[in-house]
Structure formats: C-alpha cells, structure tokens
Structure 1
Amino acid sequence: MLFKKAMSTLLLSAACASLAQADVKIGVITSSTGPIALVGLPQKNSVPLLPTQAGDQSVKYINLDDGSDPTATVKALKKLISEENVDAIIGPSGSPNAMGVIQFVAEAGVPLLAPVGTAAVVLPMTEEKKWVFKTTQNDDLIAKALVEHMQASGVKTLGFIGTADPYGENWSRVIAGLAAEHGIKLVATERFQRQDTSVTGQSLKVLSSRPDAVLVAAPGSAAVLPQTTLFDQGYRGQMYQTHGAALPDFLKLGGRKVEGTILAASLMLVLDEVADDHPSKRIASDYIAAYEQLNGSKPATFGANTYDAGLLLQRAIPIAAQRGKPGTPEFRAALRDALEQSSEVAATQGVYNMTPEDHSGFDERGRELIQVRNGAWTLLGSH
C-alpha cells in the first residue's frame, strides 16, 4: 500500500513537472534544408539555445522544417496551430514563406516572430500584420546607411540587381526612393531568381549602364552570384550588399571577387571592433560562444534573428500571463500586445523598441557599416 501511494505521488509529481515544462508552447519553422538552408540551418541550430524559462512559465519549442517550400510552410504552420496549440511561432526562414502565412496567423490569433529580410511582412501595417513581428532590421534602416555612404563617396549613378521575390521587390522600392532623395540616379534595375545558376544577361545590362556603384539585394548565398558575375565581366566599381549577405558563406563562396564589398548589418560580424559599452555586445558574445560550443562553428546572423525572437518572447510571456493562461486565445492576444510594447530590449542584433506602427523596432544601434577586407568583415573606417 505504501509502495502504491509512493508510486502515485511520484507519477503525479512527474505529470505536474511535465505540465510545468510545457506551460508555453512555441512553434519554430526553419528552412534547414532546400535552397535557403544557409539561412535556415543556423536558425534551426539556435533553437536549443532559446530561453526555456520566462518568469514563472516554462517554455517548450517545437521545430519543423519546411524544406524552403512556401507550401510546406503553410502546412507546418497549420499543424503547429491546430495540432500543437502553440502560443506563438518563430519563423519561417524565407521572405516569400513568411508573406504566405500572414493571413493564417492573423485568423488564428497567434503572434508570428519572423526572422526574415523583407520589411513587407510588417509594412505597411495592416490588421493582419498586427500579428507579425520582425526580428531583422527593416530595409530602410539598412538602405539609409548605404545610400549615405554612397553620397559621401561621390556615387552619382547606381545599378541594382535584386531577387524576384518580396525581399528584392521591397529593396528595389526603398532604394529607388532613397537614391532619388540623395541625388543618385538609378541607371539599371534587374531581377533574378534565388535558384538561378546564371545571371549573365542581367549583369551585362547593368554593366552596359556604366554605374559608379552596384547594389545587390539578395538573401543568403544568392547574394554571391550577381557580384562574382559582374567581377568576371570586368566591373570594378564599388559593390554594395544588403544585410542578406551577412553570412560566412558569402566570404567563402565569393573569395577575392567580393573583396571591398560594403554592407550594413548587425554588430555580430565585427563584434571585436565594436565598443564594449554597446548594449548588445555581451549578449551577442554569449550567443556566439554558446552556438560555437554546441555546433562547432560560428553562427550566421540569421541564427541570431531566431535567438532574438526567443529573448523578445522571454520578456513578453510573463506580462501576457497576467492576463491569460497559456494555450488560450486570451494569452495569445496579451502576448501580441506585450510584444508590441517591447521597450529597450537589448538582444544580439541591437535594441528593440516596438510600437503599433513599428513591429521591427531597431534604431541605429542595430546596424554597422562593414567592408570586406582581406577576406574578412571589418568595421568601415577602422584599421
């Protein structure tokens, strides 16, 4: 009898512990396979590093791979919502994938923290996009730094090559407006598909316009091909890239052909050169060290975008728990509201200050001007 009572107590304790461990369920969708795996893999590898405690709440993560396929993203998201009853979702990895699920998270009332490049997931703000938060810098913040550098460097004409998807389209729109404001003429605008193995036609058109500089707007490894093609065709003007190129493989795949490239991206690329009092330096250092210990390599900034989503949720969950119980519509609505009120949340990429109008929340602390020198990222202006 005593044994049975002890066993009952033990089983009850185990059941309570199990429930406590899964107080809040967060779905994660990554493209850890397929064409954008260079983006999705560091995100998947960052999941074990996400906070498992938020105030009094335990947090459980359920990670699914969409294989870089937007249709599979929708299926994974619906599974997380209907079968797993998640309170929020981190992901997906690709901009087209994220654009394709906004409707469904809004209908379900589940906050989505999207670690994607395009600002189109949160801008312009709509009723549906109120459920989406973006853990990367908006295009205009990055673009402004690049265009100001172009103007200061005497660039008068600019060529543009971007992906034919939401990432490239939004960058095309943003850069056209900023270039005009700064007296820079856009003399060529070309598009290509991420999976293309040749952009010879597009680059020849850009080359024939004889621009002072060229900006490539593409995420992940797709950023390399237009630049190396232009190099092979003899172009030696200044090359600019977006934060979509901020990964180690850009340097590996591009080699000497991407030497001198200028981009604006987070401090993670040049952490040793950033001032010690930057609010993100210690957080980024700790994340990089933990990632390297777990995976045996340094993370691309794309992984940090997923990690930052975890930090934002860690801050918001205890606030939301005051208004509802995890697993309920009330909790998810409160979680959305708490995320929207994120204030001075320091993370690996910068400092987040969300508002109803701004669901990215970065300021100048979330970007650095960086140049490729001797095959490495270097803070522009440092020696």
Structure 2
Amino acid sequence: MLFKKAVSTLLLSAACASLAQADVKVGVITSSTGPIALVGLPQKNSVPLLPTQAGDQQVKYIALDDGSDPTATVKALKKLISEENVDAIIGPSGSPNAMGVIQFAAEAGVPLLAPVGTAAVVLPMNEQKKWVFKTTQNDDLIAKALVDNMVAKGVKTLGFIGTADPYGENWSKVMGAMAAEHGIKVVANERFQRQDTSVTGQSLKVLSARPDAVLVAAPGSSAVMPQTTLFDQGYRGQMYQTHGAALPDFLKLGGKKVEGTILAASLMLVLDEVPDSHPSKKVAADYIAAYEKLNGSKPATFGANTFDAGLLLQHAIPTAAAKAAPGTPEFRAALRDALEQSHELAATQGVYNMTPRTTAASTNAAAS
C-alpha cells in the first residue's frame, strides 16, 4: 500500500508539473497590409513586445496578417483555432473584421481580445459577445469628451461623415443621441467606404448644411480624406475626429489641412502632461520606449491596444491555469472568466475594469 501511494504521488506530481509547464498559445490577427495597414502595422510591430511569461506559464504568439480583408480574417481565425489550438486570440484590427468573427470565436469557446474602435463588438451583450474583450475605449467615452468640448465652444449644429461599416454606424448612433442631449443638432449625416478614392459628393452635402463643426468617424488613413476634401472645398469650421485618427500618420498625410483638429484618445498622446501619479503613465512610457527601440519610430495608440491585450492575458492566465491545463476547453473557459474579472489593471490606455455587462475597458479620455 505504501508503494502504491508513492507511485500515485509521483504521477500526481508529474501531472502538476506538466500542467504548469504547458505553453499558452495566443493567436494574433492584424491588418498589417491593405487599406487599414496604418492601424494594423503598429499592432503587428507590438507582438514581439507582448509578455512571454504569465505566472508559471510560457506564452507563445502566432501572428497572421488578414490583409484588411474580413473574409481572410475568418480564415485566419479558423486556422488558429483548428490547426494551432490557440487558447486566445488578439485581433483583428478592423471593426468589420471583428464583427465577422465573433460567432466563430464564441462557438469554439476561444476568448477574443479585440483592439477595435466600435463598441458593437461587446454591446449589446449576448451569449456570443461575452467571449469578446475590447481593449479600446468605447465610443461613448470618447464621444463625451468631444461633446463636452463642443458645448464649451458653443457648437449648435454638427455635420457627420463616417465609414459605412460598424465603426461609422455606431459612432453615428452614439453621437446623434449625445449631441441631442446637449442641444446640438446633426444637420448632415454621410457615409463612405474605407477604400473610396473620393468623398466629394458626401463632403458637398455636409458643406451645404453649413454646420458649425464636423465630426469625421473613420479609422486610420481613411480619416484623412473627408477632412482634406472639406478643406479644399472651403470649409473652415471646427473639425473633430475620433480616436480612429490618433496616429502620427494622420498629421503626416493631412498636413496643414488638418491643423487645429480636435480629437479624443488615450493618455499616450499627451503623456508629458499626465501626472507621474497616474497608474498608467509608467506602463505607457515603458511601452513607447520599447516600441521605439525595436522599430525606430513611436507607436500609434492602435499598437498599444494590442499590447494591453497581452497585459490582460498575462494577468488572467495564472488564474485559469490553476483550474485547467492550457490547450483544453476547460482552460479557455476559465481564461474567459478570469478576463471578465479583470479589475483595476493599469495598462497603456488607462485602467481596465471588465464587467459581465460590457467586457470592455473602463478608461479615461480627453479632447486635445
């Protein structure tokens, strides 16, 4: 009996050691090429900076490029799930791409950490979206900062031009409701495709409404053309942009035509003005320094959204690993639960507080 007990103890110890040593595999899908490459490239460039250790677990990342194509996103996600047996997925880069894969991630029981703008990936919450964790500020948080600025500036009428996809549509919905609450009337509401080479018709309609201000709701390089077109047509009212334009290339591409733009985004854009006591300042500063050392340029906030996904996983993995072995459905379910319980986690974009209602970040935003 003593011999059998010793053998059992050895087997149990070996099993526990195997569980502790198993790698956690994380898929990463970015649009580092194609129309939204300005969003996806800093995300791809951030992958080497993601945490490779979470408690006793080694974390391995498998990165794929979807070329900005939603159909390719679905193929990439299915490949990561069926062939690589990943425990979680970070990505994709675009809001339409993310909306198109929620069903498949949920059916497979794989947590999806989505670094996208639209709140539609988590709202309204349902059984599928509970597998999604959004690392970008929700639209209403950014919109509040913009509307507060509009009110302070005495804006009474607003023109809106956004992408004809979940990003633009949700922004139209959120801004329309919030503007009305503050006595601001939306007098023009136009859409365009991200890949369009001209928005002359849409901008002329906005211009003819003679709004006090115009908000462009588009991510990456697609945010530039509506504003430069309006400038060329003679519009000189106040221009606003969403956090989709929070990247250095927006200024490079737009030049003088986008000077004076007001946008709201995370603290990364004004880090020097953030007090040292802010819990995210050092995290953001360290990320920026590491990214610049690796890539020779400063990161856009889009890359930080991917980096924060890695921090969320690093925080949640040990809790999940205490319940099941990586690579199993039980581990992925436990990881989902642990992510949902993330509380007061300081990262580059602010402090994350996930809830069962939204599974999205609770962070601060300010207009600048």
Q: Shorter-chain-normalised TM-score: which range?
A: over 0.9
Stretch of structure 1 that moved more, 336-345 or 272-281: 272-281
Which residue pairs with 1:175 in the alignment? 175
Structure 1 stretches lacking a partner, 5+ long: 1-16, 371-383
**What amino acid sits opposite 1:267 in the alignment?**
L
Determine if contact 1:21/1:60 at 8 Å carries over to the other structure.
no
Determine if contact 2:22/2:325 at 8 Å carries over to the other structure.
no
Which residue pairs with 2:120 in the alignment? 120
* SS of match in other structure, 1:188: strand
Give TM-score scaled by structure 2 length: 0.94
Determine if contact 1:190/1:206 at 8 Å carries over to the other structure.
yes
In structure 2, distance between residues paired with 1:115 and 1:287: 16
Name the CA shift for 1:318/1:18 in 2 (closer, same or farther; >3 Å): closer
**What amino acid sits opposite 1:291 in the alignment?**
Y
In structure 2, distance between residues paired with 1:73 and 1:98: 8
The number of equivalent residue pairs is: 352
Which residue pairs with 2:10 in the alignment? none
**What amino acid sits opposite 2:151 in the alignment?**
Q
In structure 1, distance between residues paired with 2:201 and 2:72: 32
In structure 1, distance between residues paired with 2:301 and 2:105: 25
In structure 1, distance between residues paired with 2:185 and 2:225: 24
Structure 2 stretches lacking a partner, 5+ long: 1-16
Determine if contact 2:265/2:365 at 8 Å carries over to the other structure.
yes
Shift of 1:368: 2.2
* SS of match in other structure, 2:311: helix
Which residue pairs with 2:258 in the alignment? 258
**What does the per-residue CA deviation read over 1:56-95, in whole Å, with 9 as the maximum and x for residues that have no partner?**
1110000011111111100110010011000000000010
Shift of 1:18: 12
**1:142 matched to 2:124:** no
Which residue pairs with 2:366 in the alignment? 368
* SS of match in other structure, 1:92: coil
**What does the per-residue CA deviation read over 1:259-306, in whole Å, with 9 as the maximum and x for residues that have no partner?**
110011001111112111111110000000000110111111000000
**What does the per-residue CA deviation read over 1:316-369, in whole Å, with 9 as the maximum and x for residues that have no partner?**
000111111101111100100000010000000000000101211213xx3122
Determine if contact 2:211/2:237 at 8 Å carries over to the other structure.
yes
In structure 2, distance between residues paired with 1:361 and 1:38: 23
Stretch of structure 1 that moved more, 28-37 or 17-26: 17-26
**What amino acid sits opposite 1:346 in the alignment?**
A
**What amino acid sits opposite 1:44 in the alignment?**
K
**What does the per-residue CA deviation read over 1:85-139, in whole Å, with 9 as the maximum and x for residues that have no partner?**
0000000001010000000000000000000111100000011000000000000
Determine if contact 2:27/2:61 at 8 Å carries over to the other structure.
yes
Which residue pairs with 2:110 in the alignment? 110
In structure 2, distance between residues paired with 1:72 and 1:232: 36
Which residue pairs with 2:303 in the alignment? 303
Which residue pairs with 1:86 in the alignment? 86
Matches within 5 A, 1:189-268: 189-268=189-268
**What amino acid sits opposite 1:166 in the alignment?**
P
Which residue pairs with 2:43 in the alignment? 43
In structure 1, distance between residues paired with 2:253 and 2:21: 42
**What amino acid sits opposite 2:94 in the alignment?**
G
In structure 2, distance between residues paired with 1:251 and 1:152: 25
Determine if contact 1:20/1:58 at 8 Å carries over to the other structure.
no
Which residue pairs with 1:346 in the alignment? 346
Determine if contact 1:70/1:97 at 8 Å carries over to the other structure.
yes
Name the CA shift for 1:18/1:251 in 2 (closer, same or farther; >3 Å): farther
Which residue pairs with 1:29 in the alignment? 29
* SS of match in other structure, 2:304: helix
Determine if contact 1:22/1:58 at 8 Å carries over to the other structure.
yes
Stretch of structure 1 that moved more, 272-281 or 350-359: 272-281
**What amino acid sits opposite 2:202 in the alignment?**
Q
* SS of match in other structure, 1:276: coil
In structure 2, distance between residues paired with 1:18 and 1:282: 35
Which residue pairs with 1:269 in the alignment? 269
Determine if contact 1:26/1:87 at 8 Å carries over to the other structure.
yes
Give TM-score scaled by structure 1 length: 0.90
Determine if contact 1:105/1:131 at 8 Å carries over to the other structure.
yes
Which residue pairs with 1:164 in the alignment? 164
